[in-house]
Amino acid sequence: MSLDIQQITVPFVPGTTVNCYLVKSSDAFVLVDTGPARQRAYIQSALQKAGCRPDNFKLIVLTHGDFDHCGNAAFLAKTYKVPIAMHTADLGMVKDGNMLAGRKQPNIVMKTLIRSLMRLSRINRFTPDIFIKEGDSLAEHGFDAEVIEIPGHSSGSVGLLTQQGELLCGDLLGNTKKPDLWSIMDDVDTAKASLRKLAGHAIKKVYPGHGQPFNMEYFWDNYSY
């Protein structure tokens, strides 16, 4: 079954963007990541333009628990009556709004900064309806993709790999300047282990959380790990 992956590039802090991906198969829509809460109108209008409605919007999948990816999940879930799926290891981030939950604890300055600036406000916190793990298929929800656990950016980071070799990788990889490990990494060794794991899969094209999609072959040719 062929899938149409529409990239929705949402403005984030000035000069930066974050991607959501709207996956369409026959008449079902699945949204991967939801953007930051302050860009609610932007994502809502993109969904509307694409023809996404409560009757054909089947699932919200979150690649990880960060506020710039999960900011509209609770709102959209309620508005469209659609379930939210994510990995249980990032539950603390979305349930308590604390982006340090499940992550290594940085120094006190970073900790205070992250706590105050990078949070999910109370109204946008939620408990997911579905917990996804390694090897799960999302086919029953209208998205023929397999879940691959790729921790490193966060403990509960997942990639979604389609039958055609398209990988939605969240924030393990990014491509704002060139395809690379994303610049914000909680545990670099774990991230590199996740990359080695990806090397065992047939991946053609990568759709990152930040920046433009790229060919995986180009990445392997230019990255040593």
Binding residues for Zn ion, per CB under 5 A?
Answer: 66, 171
- Residue whose CB is less far from Zn ion, 52 or 60: 60
Instruction: Name the minimum Å distance from CB 129 to Zn ion.
Output: 21
Select the residue whose beta carbon is closest to Zn ion and give its number: 66
- Residue whose CB is less far from Zn ion, 136 or 171: 171
Which ranges in the chain belong to alpha helices (H)?
Answer: 40-50, 67-70, 73-80, 91-96, 108-117, 188-198, 216-222
- Residue whose CB is less far from Zn ion, 40 or 103: 103
Residue 66: CB atoms within 10 A of its CB come to 25
In terms of Cα–Cα distance, which of 42, 63, 102 is closest to 209? 63
- Residue whose CB is less far from Zn ion, 1 or 13: 13
Determine the longest span between alpha carbons in the chain, in angstroms: 50
Instruction: Name the minimum Å distance from CB 201 to Zn ion.
Output: 21
Instruction: Name the minimum Å distance from CB 100 to Zn ion.
Output: 12
Instruction: Name the minimum Å distance from CB 69 to Zn ion.
Output: 6
